[in-house]
Structure 1
Amino acid sequence: MTSSNSEFEIGKLIGVVAALTESHKDASESRLRMHELQALTLEIHTLRNEVKGLNEGRMPSSRA
C-alpha cells in the first residue's frame, strides 16, 4: 500500500469513527429525551388522576 493509499484509508477510518461517534451522541440524546418524555407522561397521568379525584370530591395526594 502506498503512502497516499494509507492516508486515504486512514482518512476513511477517521470519517467512520467520527460518524459512529456522532451517531452514538445522537442515540444518547434520544435516550435522554425518551426518559424525559416518560417522566412527563407519568406526571401527566398523576395530575390527571388527581384532577379526576378532585372532581369526585376526594382530597389531593400530598405531593412534593
Structure 2
Amino acid sequence: MVCPFDRAQALEQRQRDQAIDAQLAQARRESAGPSLSHCVDCDNEIPEARRALGGKKRCTPCQTGFEKGVQR
C-alpha cells in the first residue's frame, strides 16, 4: 500500500514540474524572433549584447520596470 504522504509529495512534484515547464515555454515564445534596435518604452538603443539574445523589445531598465509593474 502506498503511503498518502508519498502520493502527496509525488503530486506536488508533478505540479511543480508542470509550472516550471509552462514558464520555460512562455520564455521561449517571448524570445522568438529578432530583437528591436531601440526600446519600445524610452526609445533608447538596446545594447548589442542584449539584442543578441533575440526577441528583446526593451532596454534593461525598462524591462526591469515592466516586470515590476512600474509604468513609465
Q: TM-score, normalised by structure 2?
A: 0.46
| 2:27 partner amino acid | A
Describe how 1:1-64 pairs up with structure 2 within 5 A.
15-44=3-32, 47=33, 50=34, 61=37, 62=48, 63-64=51-52
Tell me which structure has the larger Cα radius of gyration.
1
The structure richer in helix per residue is: 1
Give the number of the structure with larger relative contact order, counting CA–CA contacts within 8 Å between residues 6 or more apart: 2
Structural RMSD (CA): 2.3
4+ residue runs over 3 A deviation: none
Runs of at least 5 residues in structure 1 that lack an aligned partner in the other structure: 1-10, 52-59
Runs of at least 5 residues in structure 2 that lack an aligned partner in the other structure: 38-47, 53-72
